[in-house]
Structure 1
C-alpha cells in the first residue's frame, strides 16, 4: 500500500492572501467539541517542533473519530494510503493568522503574522516559502 505524506521540510507556509486578521489569533472554541483548528493550535503551540504535519493531521482525524489506541497503527496506514490535504488548507494559516514553519526534520511550529520570526521566515531564501490556500476564489 502506497503511503502519502503532508510533511514539508525546510519550508514556511505563509498566511493566505485573503486572511482577515493582522495578528495570530487563538481559534475560538464552539461548544464541547474542539474544531480542527483548536486541535491543531493546541498541539503545535504547546509542543513547537515536536510533531510533523502528518502527526497533526492524523491527530485531528483520531480525535474527530474517537479512535482507540489499539486501532491507531492500522488506522494511520489506511488514512495515509490516500492523499490528505496539507496544512496549507489549515484554518490556522487561512483564517487565524498563523504561519507554519517546518524544520529540516519536518517538525513544525507556529508564528503569528505580526511577529519578527514570521517576517524573517517569509523573507528567508534558504527555505521554501508557500502561501496557504485562499478561502475565496480570486
Structure 2
C-alpha cells in the first residue's frame, strides 16, 4: 500500500500512488491504471443489474488500452472505427504495465492473500457437501 496521509491532509500536493490495480471479487486482476492509461485484462460484458454478478468475466487475449483523459468512459472500442489501429499505435504502453504487474506479483510472496475469495458457484457448494458427507 501507499501512505496517503500527507496527500489527504494537504501536506503534499501529489499522491504517492502512481498506479491502481482493479481486482475482481474472485481475486483476479481485471485492469491496471497508471497515469492517464488503463489496461483491461478481464472484461465484464453484462450490462448493469444483477447480471454483472451472474455472468463471468471474459479473459482478453490482448488487453484493451484506454487513455482516460481522451476517453473517460472507456467507450472508444465500441464507438470508434479506428480504435484498434489506435490501440496498436499505443502498444508501447504494455511495457510499463508489465513492470507494474510484475512488481505486484512479486509482492504477493511477501504479502500473500489472507484468504481465498468467496464463491457462489454450485461446484463449490457441491464439493463442500461431499466433503461433509465423506467426513461423517
For normalisation by structure 2, the TM-score amounts to 0.30
The structure with more radius of gyration: 2
Q: Which has the higher strand share?
A: 2
